[in-house]
């Protein structure tokens, strides 16, 4: 019998000679202070197990709690508490509530979802000792990132990069010999990594949360404090967190639903590499996939409605990455009006209007990557009194509180930036706002982001278009990688680093980067924005010679000097 599954009134039996003796086993859960590591938890377990009458002890350093099974005829909870306090290092801060049983009590918190926002919320709820229920339907535990998003995509992108390096070299003295591609093995290795991370970073973590119960199924609000799962099980809570994530948005193009299209969720499971593929969309997922599959050997055509790819970015950034993708063979067409999708002799044919002229594109497979939609359909928002936006997102304020005061929302189901790290940040923040007096507001002023193409596209804070819209004075300094020694030595001068500052106070407003592994520059810039570090400090600080970070220093110098007139080690 595991300690985690023991209840206060559990009864077990033992035989003594010819008599059947009844031994009542109870459990007590304590909040424990003073632990600094898992070793502390193991020490407390050993101390308590030596107390006569204690049958089992399980202590969680992460949860700051201990669960102890004992024979009440031989020892009392106070004696167990005293044994912990007598160590002189650890102290009992009080009892914590049991997780309610089905239909019996009201939970402190119900989390609807099982991805990054949900897990960050569950971990914070555990730390606060909240009786919590997580209800999840759809993707396996862990949500989009580990299962069908970040982890599988970046694995395949890196595999494609190795293929590219084996075929291309900027060095005259290095003659690439090519590489043999085993696509089924790439997918198998990707699956192994996904399964391993899902187990270690989600399932095992969830199993270690003493006050969090997990239920598989779709949660539907029947009123503002009640959800029903599988049309039968009913659960109530004092507060809720909606963290249901998002799915691929499928545009209403005639014929699209009748042809066999892929999304990133299904593409990453394809063991056969198609000869050709059309990608509908020009956002970051579309670009990453287009380049990766082109490098793996598929002829890729990318079709985009907007005037340029990465439509939220300036044309300068979009044109730079478009140029490099085209150089690798990706066919890119923008400014399109999708007219029809149809099957054509075993292939997929997409008909578009471009500048009023009808054109058609044909490929073996079609990938739809046209953005995301929130998973709020069927949630029972109306029954709960929840306000949704016109796009179906849960409407929240900057504390992540919805139109119903005890219901919060986080992650891709709200309109904040849709990244795994922002979802986790929001899940934790929502729980703290709901159950503590922290009263924190979301703040993405210094948030770094990256598109994992090669060269990468990355950014922090505002660009000049956003500064202008906000009425903030700004000026721009751009350094091309042709001026950066590291890039020159690597014979890879694709891209640039651009800084945007407020000239009135020399504060960095933001940055945009197009560079090989350019995302590695974002944390320096993020901290500069967050802590208002003057740009002159970036210009005068040591940056190791022949590192890409020198591009930041040179761009900072560029506000005052022409870097083309400076020596390599200029200060």
Could you read off the pLDDT of 208-254 as tens digits, one per residue?
898 999 999 999 999 999 999 987 889 999 999 999 999 999 999 99
Torsion sign across C-alpha atoms 369, 373, 375, 379: negative
Q: 348: exposed, middle or buried (C-beta count within 10 Å: 0-12, 13-18, 19+)?
A: buried
**Range list for CATH 3.50.50.60 in the chain:** 107-142+188-248+373-435, 256-370
Query: Quick one: pLDDT at residue 96?
Result: 72
**Tens digit of pLDDT for each residue in 441-466?**
999 999 999 999 999 999 999 999 99
Q: Which of 20-29, 172-181, 348-357 has the lowest mean pLDDT?
A: 20-29
Query: Quick one: pLDDT at residue 140?
Result: 73
Q: How far is CA 288 from the centre of its chain?
A: 16
Do 35 and 43 touch, CB atoms closer than 8 A?
no
pLDDT at 437 over 80: yes
Q: How far is CA 380 from the centre of its chain?
A: 25
Crossing angle (nearest 10°) for helices 116-127 and 420-435? 30
pLDDT at 308 over 80: yes
Query: Quick one: pLDDT at residue 133?
Result: 96
Angle CA 305–310–315, to nearest 5: 95
Alpha carbons 327 and 330: distance in angstroms, whole number = 7
CATH architecture of 256-370: 3-Layer(bba) Sandwich (3.50)
Query: Quick one: pLDDT at residue 434?
Result: 97
Please name which of 483, 569, 499 lies closest in space to residue 537, comparing C-alpha atoms: 499
Do 331 and 340 touch, CB atoms closer than 8 A?
no
CATH number of 448-565: 3.30.390.30
CATH architecture of 3-95: 2-Layer Sandwich (3.30)
The CATH class of the 107-142+188-248+373-435 domain is alpha beta
**Range list for CATH 3.30.70.100 in the chain:** 3-95
Give the pLDDT mean for 486-502: 97
Give the pLDDT mean for 82-95: 92
**Tens digit of pLDDT for each residue in 155-170?**
999 999 999 999 999 9
Q: What is the pTM of this model?
A: 0.82
Alpha carbons 132 and 110: distance in angstroms, whole number = 6
**Range list for CATH 3.30.390.30 in the chain:** 448-565
């Amino acid at each position: 019998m595991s300690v985690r599954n023991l209840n206060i009134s559990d009864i077990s039996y033992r035989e003594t000679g010819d008599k059947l003796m009844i031994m009542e086993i109870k459990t007590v859960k304590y909040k424990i202070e003073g632990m600094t590591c898992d070793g502390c938890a193991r020490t407390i377990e050993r101390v308590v197990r030596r107390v006569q009458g204690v049958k089992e002890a399980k202590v969680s350093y992460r949860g700051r709690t201990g669960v102890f099974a004992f024979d009440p005829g031989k020892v009392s909870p106070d004696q167990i508490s005293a044994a912990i306090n007598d160590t002189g290092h650890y102290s009992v801060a009080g009892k914590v509530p049991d997780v309610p049983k089905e239909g019996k009590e009201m939970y402190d918190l119900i989390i609807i979802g099982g991805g990054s926002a949900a897990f960050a919320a569950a971990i914070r709820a555990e730390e606060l000792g909240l009786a919590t229920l997580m209800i999840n339907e759809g993707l396996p535990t862990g949500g989009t990132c580990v299962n069908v998003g970040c982890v599988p995509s970046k694995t395949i992108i890196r595999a494609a990069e190795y293929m590219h390096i084996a075929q291309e070299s900027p060095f005259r003295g290095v003659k690439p010999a090519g590489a043999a591609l085993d696509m089924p093995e790439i997918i198998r290795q990707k699956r192994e990594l996904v399964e391993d991370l899902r187990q270690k970073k989600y399932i095992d973590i969830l199993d270690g949360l003493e006050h969090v119960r997990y239920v598989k199924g779709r949660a539907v609000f029947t009123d503002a404090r009640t959800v029903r799962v599988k049309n039968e099980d009913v659960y109530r809570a004092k507060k809720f967190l909606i963290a249901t994530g998002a799915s691929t948005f499928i545009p209403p193009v005639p014929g699209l639903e009748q042809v066999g299209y892929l999304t990133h969720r299904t593409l990453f499971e394809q063991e056969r590499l198609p000869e050709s593929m059309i990608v509908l969309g020009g956002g970051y997922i579309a670009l990453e996939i287009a380049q990766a599959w082109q490098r793996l050997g598929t002829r890729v055509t990318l079709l985009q409605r907007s005037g340029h790819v990465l439509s939220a970015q300036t044309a300068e950034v979009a044109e730079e990455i478009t140029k490099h993708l085209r150089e690798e063979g990706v066919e890119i067409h923008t400014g399109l009006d999708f007219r029809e999708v149809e099957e054509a002799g075993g292939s997929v044919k997409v008909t578009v209007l471009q500048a009023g002229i009808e054109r058609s594109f044909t490929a073996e497979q079609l990938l739809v990557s046209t953005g995301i939609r929130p998973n709020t359909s069927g949630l029972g928002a109306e029954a709960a009194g929840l306000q949704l936006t016109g796009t179906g997102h849960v409407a929240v304020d900057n504390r992540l509180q919805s139109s119903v005061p005890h219901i919060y929302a986080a992650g891709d189901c709200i309109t904040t930036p849709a990244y795994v790290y922002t979802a986790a940040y929001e899940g934790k923040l929502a729980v703290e706002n709901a159950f503590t007096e922290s009263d924190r507001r979301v703040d993405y002023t210094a948030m770094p982001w990256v598109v994992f193409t090669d060269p990468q596209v990355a950014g922090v804070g505002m660009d000049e278009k956003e500064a202008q819209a906000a009425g903030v004075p700004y000026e721009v300094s751009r350094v091309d990688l042709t001026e950066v020694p590291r890039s020159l030595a690597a014979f890879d001068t694709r891209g640039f680093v651009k800084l945007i500052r407020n000239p009135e106070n020399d504060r960095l407003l933001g940055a945009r980067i197009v560079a090989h592994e350019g995302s590695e520059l974002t944390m320096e810039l993020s901290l500069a924005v967050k802590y208002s570090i003057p740009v002159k400090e970036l210009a005068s600080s040591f940056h190791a010679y022949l590192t890409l970070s020198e591009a930041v220093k040179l761009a900072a110098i560029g506000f005052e000097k022409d870097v083309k007139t400076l020596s390599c080690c200029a200060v």
